[in-house]
Structure 1
Amino acid sequence: MPAVSPSISSEIYRIAPGFRALSISVEATPVADERVGEVALREACESVQAGQPAWAEAHLNAWAEVFRTFGAKPKRTPCSAEALRKRVLKDGMMASLDPVVDLYNAVSIRYAVPVGGENVSAYTGRPRLVVAEGTEIFDTMKDGQPGSESPDAGEVIWRDDTGVTCRRWNWRQGIRTRLSVADSRMWFILESLPQMPLEDLHAAGRMLTDGLEKMMPGARCHTVLISEQL
């Protein structure tokens, strides 16, 4: 499977100076141990309760400032990592959803980093991180029924050739490219700002790939660092 090569608009680096990310492409194999994700999720929740990592608040505050820069209201629509950690701090835990989703949520919670998981087979063209024009289509659910909406003009979005795959940078994922353990071609994006040490971003990536390889022996993972300097 060729590695996914996301495109990052130059405008993104003006909105979020120092933005960098890990792009991880995965060729999955059948699951041998479904409990890997559940165990990782429980341990990640425990780490949050213990106040780890020490830089988590600074990193999430930086994401809130970035969201304000493009017009989002982080208290209403926070970055995905903050939303997950708030749930853990309130409830003490998170329920298991899906082995792969549990694993990448665990990485996000433990490292206070937004993590997106996508079904590559559902994509049309390459993933692109861009500023929205406001006419793009985002598939969602409304009152329990499939529906669609458009992002605000100026909003940061992930998209492909068909439409929006994630609104407000990493706030809400669309339905079309949603990932599950049954998918054979997976793509993950771990997004960080300078307040997260680079070595911890790489550690988060290793937690994800090591977990996937334990869950699915023989799975092939390819990791690439994305930054303005590369």
Structure 2
Amino acid sequence: MYFQHSDEIWSAHPGLVAGVLAATGITADAAVEPLVEEFSARAKARLAAGTEADLPEIQAWRRTFSAMGLKPTRYRCASESLLRRFRKEGALPRIHPLVDLCNAVSLAYAIPVAALDVARISGDLEVRHATGDEEYRTLAGEPEHPEPGEVTFVDAAGHAHARRWTNRQSGHSAVRDTTRTVLIVVEALHASAATDVPDLLAALSDALGDVWPATVRTTMVSRSAPCFDFQPPVVP
């Protein structure tokens, strides 16, 4: 099983910086609150000077969404949506320890962090333009079909694991209590992304190691080295 972006995505978005993390050994009974509070405090400090719309990470995704024909104040990247809710409500709802941790890291870095249950991915996974035949499931389980040309995550069975690239994840591969192995994808387009994405991956990897006895692997992907093998490792 491998993850990659299509060559067309790299051509259309040459400034894309992407990192990937695979972890096995995740459970739903972990305590992540101290880490969530630590990362949330970093986000709060950044937002003290303005709103999420002022952050270069968010501005880069807004420009990208506009270039794809999407109204950026209607369709927001996931990190902007999280930051917006966090700014208005002061906290995010708790969902699952891993999701809560990924959300907090996304807040701190203002970068979308997608966590997918590997057991719910069929074969290889590619970020590519949709044909319109792929099937997406909302968090409520309702079926949708991405628009032709829309950027999505597609597996070998035709499941779309995202809508509008970093706008919404699929309920089909959402992390749940039975999740043990996850694939986490981090993508950014702002000027300092080449430094920030590796920093985010390292911080998240360290956090996972602090919370779970997990096997964690990370890598950066690029047009010249686009593939990441996320076959679950054999755990004795």
Q: Is this a same-fold pair by TM over 0.5? A: yes
- Asked if 1:122 corresponds to 2:117, the answer is no
Q: Please give the per-residue CA displacement for 1:107-156, whole angstroms capped at 9, x wherever unaligned.
A: 11101111000110111111110011122211125xx5x32111111111
CA contact (8 A) 2:130 2:147 kept: yes
Structure 1 unpaired stretches of 5+: none
Which residue number corresponds to residue 25 of structure 1? 22
In structure 1, give the amino acid aligned to 2:153.
Answer: W
Structure 2 unpaired stretches of 5+: 226-236
Q: How does 1:1-230 map to 2 (within 5 A)?
A: 5-28=2-25, 30=27, 34-36=30-32, 38-51=33-46, 57-140=55-138, 146-162=141-157, 163-217=159-213, 219-230=214-225
Q: Please give the per-residue CA displacement for 1:39-87, whole angstroms capped at 9, x wherever unaligned.
A: 2222222222211799971121111111122222221110001111111
CA contact (8 A) 2:8 2:128 kept: yes
Q: Structure 2 vs 1, CA of residues 150 and 31 (structure 1 numbering), >3 Å: closer, same or farther?
A: closer
Aligned residue pair count = 221
Greater mean alpha carbon deviation, residues 171-180 or residues 44-53: 44-53
In structure 1, give the amino acid aligned to 2:93.
Answer: A
Aligned alpha-carbon RMSD (Å): 2.2
1: CA distance, partners of 2:134 / 2:19: 26
2: CA distance, partners of 1:229 / 1:161: 22
Identity fraction in percent: 29
2: CA distance, partners of 1:115 / 1:196: 17
Please give the secondary structure, in 2, of the residue aligned with 1:95.
coil
Deviation for aligned residue 1:195? 2.2
Please give the secondary structure, in 1, of the residue aligned with 2:161.
strand
Please give the secondary structure, in 2, of the residue aligned with 1:212.
helix
